[in-house]
Structure 1
Amino acid sequence: MNMVLIENAAGSSQVITIIEEFAGHSVSRDLNPGDHAEIPVTQFKSITVRETYPDDWLSRGLSRNRAAAA
């Protein structure tokens, strides 16, 4: 199995989001400055890394709160 190491540099002020897609499912996680993630990869998985903006955090938090209340 192959692994990919993704690190958000400690001096960065930007949070990044990693999105893993496989078998019709999607999993995302945020990396704060100084954090890293080791992700196993296969030919059937795609990985997207993008900058996360404060508006994204707010909309995700609101969505989680609505889902928890339902």
Structure 2
Amino acid sequence: MKSVHGLCERCERPGYIVHHKKELAPNNINDPNITLNHDNLEYLCLDCHNAEHDFNREKKSATKKGYRFNDKGELVPTT
């Protein structure tokens, strides 16, 4: 976050969350080359992070079926 001055690496608005470019999965969650490697991390604002996951939703949802993230980043039921 310090290296990008706290700004989103895509739109340069204030950042909010560290995004893993290579998605975390059960087979790599304990691999520091994936989880902690700066080349796999990107600091994003909430809008850019949500857009990234909305884009990838067709391939695989980031949440359990029937749930979504709200504007505050909280996991909530879709109903």
TM-score (norm 2): 0.28
Of Structure 1 and Structure 2, the greater strand share is in: 1
TM-score (norm 1): 0.30
